[in-house]
């Protein structure tokens, strides 16, 4: 995902996870839920997806304190058939509902060969790769979708309709297990806009401009000022616009959730309002179609042949989907996660408000 560079300081991932978990415990999450949410966020930062990492925590905490997020949701799972189910997130953090949906899809697919699970009454769930990789761990292909409030201008329009509505498809490339993020799973995780909205939010917080072509202002004119952004542009014009709309069909209509303009906005003036987001998670049991070892071997061959293609520019590389994130993760595990200085200051201010030690201690 495209990100915006800004002045930063590197933080050890374990120290960051412990600090962030204490913040969530302070607003009422139970220990297991806090640990899960933090893991998804820190993993995003490790993979270089700062738009979906710990920078979102101040917003989450504010919503919890104002009633827009339920810190102790009672998730319910309804089995709708041999290969289908629905997870109701009870207006809690979206990471909890999407993780439950992935686990349910895996269990159903073990019996049926493939499964689909819808999500309703959820909220922002972070990067989808986490859930797709969880399904790949089970030796399956994972498909994960979510929708969000209107943030993207449809092709030919001047006003937003759908959200950045991402799509994630993950295929396991090697033996799965606890170290799945180092095994080289092929992982496509992309917004249907030119960049994630939260990359703009990070740029605004850090006081830096965004690249040309990403977004428009309220009048529909292109802007590089993140504080003036009213909507994002779709990726590849009508292709991204159409794909975003169809993801809304999957996530909203099948879960009976609001769609497009009817979804309560993430950064609205009323953070006490429930977002009521929907989602869709699918799992395909590879072994029902071909032996899993054969699939691993053939996908490895595909990736090797892709990487062996002559580069368009001297010294260039052809990387498979997810490979840049895997490389970034390896670097950041040893070098630390760079966080914007204003994000760090805000996290420390929040910690002080709860009587907690700052991140630097």
**Which residues are identified as catalytic?**
124
Give yes or no for a contact between 285 and 291, defined as CB atoms under 8 angstroms apart: no
* Dist CA 262 CA 335 (whole Å): 43
- Among the listed residues 298, 219, 256, the one whose alpha carbon sits nearest the alpha carbon of residue 86: 256
Rounded-to-integer distance, Cα 272 and Cα 101, Å: 25
**Percent helix, strand, coil in the chain (nearest 5)?**
45, 20, 40
Neighbours of 354 (CB within 10 A): 12
Integer Cα distance of 158 and 241 in angstroms: 13
What does each C-alpha distance from 129 to 39, 142, 191, 297 come to in angstroms?
12, 9, 12, 22
Q: How many CB atoms lie within 10 A of CB 302?
A: 14
> CA 297, CA 18: separation in Å to the nearest integer?
38
Q: Any idea what DSSP says for residue 310?
A: P
16 vs 18: CA distance, rounded Å: 6
Sign of CA dihedral 315, 316, 318, 320: positive
């Amino acid at each position: 995902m495209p990100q915006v560079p800004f002045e930063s300081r590197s933080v050890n991932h374990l120290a960051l996870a412990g600090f962030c978990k204490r913040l969530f415990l302070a607003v009422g999450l139970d220990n297991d839920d806090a640990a899960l949410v933090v893991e998804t966020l820190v993993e995003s930062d490790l993979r270089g997806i700062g738009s979906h990492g710990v920078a979102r925590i101040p917003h989450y905490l504010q919503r919890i304190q104002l009633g827009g997020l339920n810190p102790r949701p009672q998730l319910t799972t309804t089995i709708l058939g041999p290969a289908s189910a629905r997870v109701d997130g009870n207006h809690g953090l979206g990471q909890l509902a999407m993780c439950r949906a992935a686990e349910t899809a895996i269990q159903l697919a073990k019996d049926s060969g493939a499964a689909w699970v819808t999500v309703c009454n959820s909220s922002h769930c972070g990067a989808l790769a986490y859930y797709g990789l969880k399904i790949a761990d089970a030796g399956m292909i994972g498909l994960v979708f979510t929708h969000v409030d209107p943030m993207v201008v449809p092709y030919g329009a001047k006003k937003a309709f759908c959200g950045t509505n991402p799509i994630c498809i993950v295929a396991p490339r090697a033996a799965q297990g606890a170290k799945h993020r180092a095994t080289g799973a092929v992982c496509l995780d992309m917004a249907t806009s030119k960049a994630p909205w939260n990359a703009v939010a990070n740029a605004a917080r850090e006081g830096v401009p965004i690249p040309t072509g990403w977004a428009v202002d309220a009048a529909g004119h292109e802007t590089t000022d993140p504080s003036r952004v009213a909507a994002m542009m779709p990726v590849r014009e009508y292709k991204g616009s159409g794909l975003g709309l169809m993801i809304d069909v999957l996530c909203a209509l099948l879960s009976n959730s609001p769609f497009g303009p009817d979804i309560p906005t993430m950064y609205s003036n009323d953070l006490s309002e429930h977002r009521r987001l929907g989602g869709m998670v699918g799992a395909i049991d590879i072994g029902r179609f071909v032996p899993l070892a054969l699939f691993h071997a053939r996908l490895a061959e595909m990736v090797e042949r892709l990487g062996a293609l002559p580069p368009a520019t001297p010294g260039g590389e052809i990387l498979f989907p997810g490979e840049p994130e895997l490389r970034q993760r390896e670097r950041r595990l040893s070098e630390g996660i760079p966080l914007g200085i204003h994000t760090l200051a805000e996290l420390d201010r929040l910690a002080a408000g709860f009587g907690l030690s700052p991140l630097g201690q």
